[in-house]
């Protein structure tokens, strides 16, 4: 177990940093906002996994544990999800983002019973999440171009606030907490009022990433429209399910857009670590490092499968060759 606790986080960290470098290189050439935000999210992924590698290999301490909790439990999913919001900024995806924020607020309220003494923080977090959701709904109706920048503004402000809480909170002795059987880090050393903060960050971020990828798959697959677009999320869900037979037929005939399997891989890559990190909160820790590793590998695989990535690679190679010659 100790070997896996070292190897899996190391692999997750290295893949994340390589992935971040590639996406950042694309941003340098294209200057698309979602690429820059995803770069930040992937760097956070690499740093979080890196703390797990260091803790498993050399031993945990309080500063390392605080960094792990702040970046891994709060920042990673949130910034990857924000990148997806930028990618789909001019669509109706803002309605889904608003629902995801509202769900994150509800999760914070539900966690109050689990973490005594956290009620005032949970109510504040939920109110902020509901307010952000309402603003996103209004902007999606009237100014879709402002949905992503506004979401990012909320996220950056919230990131600064939670950083203060995590870095100043009293941490139970010995300054970190590990599962006694698996030696995987858990959040129980943090006070309850800090642990309820993760609701909107993790839930809204992971849900936006996963369902943003599913929505992208729906956009590129052959569609059968059962409900009109005015039914928003319900229409997308019903039409997606109705379109699956056509997509499967197109796959068998070799006509399916490569972005469909690519975005499905990304959705799986966001879903798996979301599940394993949730299980970690409830004491099921054996799958945590494995889920984290599979998550970044699947997202990277989806990125590589994307037709757009290979087209960009060919374009870059041709440009470099022309400059050399």
**Which residue did the predictor score with more confidence, 313 or 250?**
250
pLDDT at 231 (0 to 100): 67
pLDDT at 221 (0 to 100): 84
Whether the pLDDT of residue 293 is over 80: the answer is yes
- The span from the CA of 66 to the CA of 190, in Å, is 9
pLDDT in tens, 165-189: 999 999 999 999 999 999 999 999 9
Model confidence band, residue 1 (pLDDT cutoffs 50, 70, 90): low
Give the residue among 4, 6, 17, 1 at the shortest CA–CA distance from 59: 6
pTM comes to: 0.88
| Arithmetic mean of pLDDT, 295-321 | 63
pLDDT in tens, 47-75: 999 999 999 999 999 999 999 999 998 99
pLDDT in tens, 253-288: 778 887 888 888 898 999 999 899 888 888 888 899
Query: What percent of the chain lies above the pLDDT cut of 70?
Result: 92
Whether the pLDDT of residue 319 is over 60: the answer is no
Whether the pLDDT of residue 129 is over 90: the answer is yes
């Amino acid at each position: 177990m100790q070997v896996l606790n070292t190897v899996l986080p190391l692999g997750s960290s290295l893949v994340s940093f390589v992935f971040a470098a590639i996406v950042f290189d694309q941003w340098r050439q294209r200057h698309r906002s979602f690429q820059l935000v995803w770069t930040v999210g992937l760097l956070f992924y690499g740093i979080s996994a890196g703390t797990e590698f260091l803790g498993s290999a050399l031993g945990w301490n309080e500063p390392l544990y605080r960094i792990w909790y702040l970046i891994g439990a709060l920042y990673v999913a949130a910034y990857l999800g924000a990148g997806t919001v930028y990618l789909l900024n001019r669509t109706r995806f803002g309605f889904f983002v608003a629902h995801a924020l509202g769900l994150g607020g509800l999760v914070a309220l539900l966690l109050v019973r689990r973490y005594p003494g956290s009620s005032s923080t949970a109510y504040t977090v939920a109110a902020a999440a509901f307010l952000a959701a309402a603003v996103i709904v209004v902007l999606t109706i009237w100014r879709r171009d402002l949905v992503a920048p506004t979401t990012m503004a909320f996220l950056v402000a919230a990131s600064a606030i939670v950083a203060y809480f995590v870095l100043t909170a009293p941490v139970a002795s010995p300054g970190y907490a590990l599962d006694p059987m698996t030696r995987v880090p858990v959040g129980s050393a943090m006070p309850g009022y800090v642990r309820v903060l993760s609701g909107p960050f993790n839930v809204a971020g992971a849900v936006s990433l996963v369902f943003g990828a599913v929505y992208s798959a729906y956009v590129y697959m052959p569609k059968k429209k059962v409900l009109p677009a005015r039914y928003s999320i319900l229409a997308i869900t019903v039409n997606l399910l109705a379109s699956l037979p056509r997509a499967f037929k197109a796959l068998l005939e070799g006509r399916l857009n490569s972005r469909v399997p690519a975005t499905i891989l990304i959705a799986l890559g966001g879903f798996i670590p979301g599940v394993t990190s949730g299980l970690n909160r409830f004491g099921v820790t054996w799958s945590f490092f494995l889920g984290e590793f599979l998550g970044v590998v699947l997202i990277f695989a989806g990125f590589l499968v994307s037709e757009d990535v290979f087209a960009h690679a060919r374009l870059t190679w041709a440009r470099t060759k022309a400059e050399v010659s």
